[in-house]
Chain A
Amino acid sequence: GNSVTQMEGPVTLSEEAFLTINCTYTATGYPSLFWYVQYPGEGLQLLLKATKADDKGSNKGFEATYRKETTSFHLEKGSVQVSDSAVYFCALNFNKFYFGSGTKLNVKP
């Protein structure tokens, strides 16, 4: 079946540190992949997406590359800010949406 696995949090970083949040997936076909961000008390906002192998999605300094050979879609940012503190969800769409369990990021000043 289809599923998404994310690294468990919380992830705690200092401001300007490099961020990686790991996401791997299992799919019976070729899904589209997404990263969402959720701030406290709010809904999920689409951060970036990739629809085929080797696509790189990017937005607001975040990026993720669709790696078919490793079935991964890791989220990266070169220099995090306090305002990036949130919960990040990896998701795939292949006839149905599947969400990871979320990774909480805390960025300290």
Chain B
Amino acid sequence: DGGITQSPKYLFRKEGQNVTLSCEQNLNHDAMYWYRQDPGQGLRLIYYSQIVNDFQKGDIAEGYSVSREKKESFPLTVTSAQKNPTAFYLCASSLGQNNQPQHFGDGTRLSIL
């Protein structure tokens, strides 16, 4: 079945540590996205990529970095510069056209040790 796989489901970060969240899709989608969701809140866009080897900052990119070396993969690194990383992180992908929806993974919950 086609879909988006996020791993791990739960992740713990120590102070001063960088952690990387994985996102893989086999939908052959060009565009991929990372969102942050805080408890009881909506989605905030961190980074997005419309094509391999290219990505743009979203609304809250500070303290995060991404890469897009393959069409299928869009990993997110939460750096030590992100002082409040505890949140639920969602990866999504789409065909990149106006009439197409985004498809979401099951999320990664990041907590601070």
User: Could you list which residues of chain A lie within 8 angstroms of chain B, going by C-beta atoms?
Assistant: 31-32, 34, 36, 41-46, 49, 51, 89, 91, 93-95, 97, 99-102, 104
Q: Tell me the complex Cα distance, A43–B90, Å.
A: 7
A–B Cβ pairs within 8 angstroms, 25 of them:
A31-B98, A32-B101, A36-B104, A41-B109, A42-B106, A43-B6, A43-B90, A43-B104, A43-B107, A44-B90, A44-B92, A45-B104, A46-B103, A51-B99, A89-B42, A93-B98, A93-B99, A93-B100, A94-B98, A97-B33, A97-B45, A97-B102, A99-B42, A101-B41, A104-B40
The verdict on B43 contacting chain A, using a C-beta distance below 8 Å, is yes
B1-32 residues at the A interface, CB under 8 angstroms: 4, 6
* Complex contacts, B90 vs chain A, CB 8 Å: 43-44
Q: Tell me the complex Cα distance, A91–B99, Å.
A: 12
B55-113 residues at the A interface, CB under 8 angstroms: 90, 92, 94, 98-107, 109
Determine which residue in B4, B98, B104, B109 has the highest number of CB atoms from chain A within 10 A of its CB, and name it: B98
Q: Are A32 and B104 in contact (CB under 8 A)?
A: no
Separation in Å of the A90 CB from the closest CB of chain B? 10
Across chains A and B, the number of contacting residue pairs, with CB separation under 8 Å, is 52
* Complex contacts, A95 vs chain B, CB 8 Å: 98
Determine which residue in A32, A43, A93, A102 has the highest number of CB atoms from chain B within 10 A of its CB, and name it: A43
Separation in Å of the B38 CB from the closest CB of chain A? 11
Separation in Å of the A29 CB from the closest CB of chain B? 9
Closest to B4 in A: A43
Q: Tell me the complex Cα distance, A95–B40, Å.
A: 27
Q: Tell me the complex Cα distance, A31–B97, Å.
A: 11
Q: Are A100 and B106 in contact (CB under 8 A)?
A: no
Closest to A45 in B: B104
Q: Tell me the complex Cα distance, A46–B4, Å.
A: 13
Q: Are A100 and B104 in contact (CB under 8 A)?
A: no
